[in-house]
Amino acid sequence: MEEFSGGPLGSTEVLVSLKRSHEGHRLQMESINGELAYKIYERNMLLKAKDATLEEQQDRLAYLEGELCDLEAKQYHLRGQVDELNRKNATLKEEYDTLRQHYGHQEGEFRRAAERSVELLRCLMQVKADAAQHENERIERAKHARVSQELKKATKTRVSVKVYPEVVKADKQKMETTDVPEEQNGERLRKRPFRSASATSMTLTRYVDVFKGLFDFRLKRGNSISSVSEDRYCSLPCCMAACLPSGVSDIQEAHASEINAIKFSPNSGMLATGGTDRRIRLWNVVAGHLENMQSLEGANGSITSVEFDPSGCHILAATYNNAAQLWKMGDCQFKEILTGHTDKVTAAKFRSTRHQAVTGSRDRTVKEWDLSKGACSRTIDVLSYCNDLVCCDTIIVSGHHDKTIRFWDSRDVRCTQVIPVEGTVTSLSISPDQMHLLSCSRDNALKVIDLRMHNIRQVFRAEGFKCGSDGTKAVFSPDKSYAMVGSADGTLFIWNMETGKLETTLAGVHRSPVNAVAWGSSGTYVGSVDRCRKVVLWR
């Protein structure tokens, strides 16, 4: 106001200056106003977007709250089911505890019943054995009495014999100059089994045994499966009394590894051994010594058993390559191979002719074979695998891992008889008269079975005897006076059949378990083989 007091009130310059100042200020305010309006617009757009998102989130929250209510309802329902299942589980647990206690009680009763049944079976077998023994003794006494009466009657009968001196002299000269032929029809003639009573002292029992052996001999004929008629081989009573071995006659290291099988030929002049080196060695028995004769090659697995046919011209062997193989004497290569088993073949035996054979295997089957065709004629399914078998006439006897001995008839598909023993059967041996069977088992015992009564007649045990394996073999002596087996410590045990007592032991030669033994049909030699490749000839 003081500035304007010095000049005119309506000065133009002052007004222009004020106008310009107000105009700049107005423009500045408009610019600021526009920026603020744009920011307000942006904030409004963001607010609308937030409102939309909020609404969407509220809708989703409402949906989730509904699902939560449903889940809580389901959870409540499932909790109810869990509680119900817990109650049922508690009830079932109580029932299970009750049943378990009842099962324990029943198992105890079953075990006691099984023990009682075993004891009753043992008692029954003992009663049968005693009855059979009494019956056999009665029959023997009756036979002895009958023979004694006949001999007494014969001694009282007078016989008139008219002797001419000239004839007696001529007969005497003829007997002195006549030589006995060594062979007739390819067979060696044997000496008379006994002399007159004036030359040899023999008891009445020995006479009865000799006459029984001679008169019980039967010549059998039959046809093989190939319908070729032939004479069946028969066993003459060639051994009157077996010699009890007392010492070593010869020792040989026969194979490159363990020996499993040993067998004498029918005339006892040859010995065959088979082992895990897949070879069969043949030995000549000459003057108490073993002479290497031949080696049979071609086996694809370890040899488990060897067997001569009754003529001694063929050898049948069981092998671990699920087959049995047949050799002919003089040929180094095998003649026939019998395939069809699915596991190790543990036994292979000839039937009554060289055209028929039987094999047993760990595939739980026993097979009959027609060797002329090289084909299996019958397969027998068994519940347990077979360790050994023997054949007699139409009957096949097999020993099994399940502690039983089974009898099979070639004319019947079913098992005809089962005899339980107390251990796994390792071997079977049949007596020459086919009246008794010798079994060896893992309960460290030999059992003699009466084939007429089908019961156990004798049981042989001894301190120190232990069956070494599932393939341990035991045999009868050829006159059925003794039973022999090898032990796990290398000792041979021999029992007397008549007394039932241990007759002798042969120790100190074998240093490892004896796998198999054999007794020559002449009764002179005994052979044994062990795990350390050794074959021993005893005499």
pLDDT tens track for 310-331: 888 999 999 999 999 999 888 7
Scan for tokens 């695998």, then name that residue. Answer: 385
* Cβ-Cβ contacts under 8 Å for 8 (sequence gap 6 or more): none
Average confidence (pLDDT) per 10 residues, the chain, 539 residues: 47 86 88 90 91 92 92 93 94 92 90 86 79 80 85 70 48 45 38 35 42 41 36 50 92 95 94 95 94 89 94 93 90 85 95 89 95 91 94 92 94 89 96 94 96 94 95 96 96 96 95 96 95 95
Residue 415: predicted pLDDT: 92
According to DSSP, the residues that pair with 417 across neighbouring strands are 407
Q: Are the beta carbons of 292 and 332 closer than 8 angstroms? A: no
Strands (E), 329-403: 336-339, 345-350, 356-361, 365-370, 375-381, 386-392, 395-400
Residue 116: predicted pLDDT: 87
DSSP state of 378: E
Nearest to 310 by CA among 472, 485, 187, 436: 187
Q: Helix or strand or coil: residue 482? A: strand
Round the CA-based radius of gyration of the chain to a whole number and report it: 50
Cβ neighbours, 10 Å, residue 527: 26
Residue 10: predicted pLDDT: 55
Q: Encoding tokens for residue 68? A: 């939560």
Q: Helix or strand or coil: residue 185? A: coil
Q: In the chain, count H helices and then E strands.
A: 4, 32
Q: Which amino acid, one-letter code, is at 373?
A: K
DSSP state of 342: S
Strands (E), 410-501: 415-420, 425-430, 436-441, 445-450, 455-460, 474-476, 482-486, 492-496
**Alpha helices, DSSP H only, in 254-294?**
none
Q: Are the beta carbons of 264 and 520 closer than 8 angstroms? A: yes
Q: Encoding tokens for residue 100? A: 């378990």
From CA 174, how far away is CA 179, in angstroms rounded? Answer: 10
CA angle 289, 295, 296 (to 5 degrees): 135
Scan for tokens 């019998």, then name that residue. Answer: 338
Tell me the pTM.
0.59
From CA 398, how far away is CA 394, in angstroms rounded? Answer: 13
Nearest to 514 by CA among 501, 497, 533, 495: 533
* Cβ-Cβ contacts under 8 Å for 460 (sequence gap 6 or more): 445, 446, 447, 448, 483, 495, 500, 502
Q: Encoding tokens for residue 353? A: 């002719």
Q: Helix or strand or coil: residue 158? A: coil
Nearest to 363 by CA among 330, 322, 321: 322
Q: Are the beta carbons of 407 and 384 closer than 8 angstroms? A: no
Nearest to 294 by CA among 308, 283, 279, 286: 283
Tell me the HSE value of 1 on the side-chain side, using a 13 A CA sphere: 0
Q: Helix or strand or coil: residue 90? A: helix
Helix (H) or strand (E) holding 14: helix 12-156
Beta pairing class for 502-506 and 187-188? unpaired
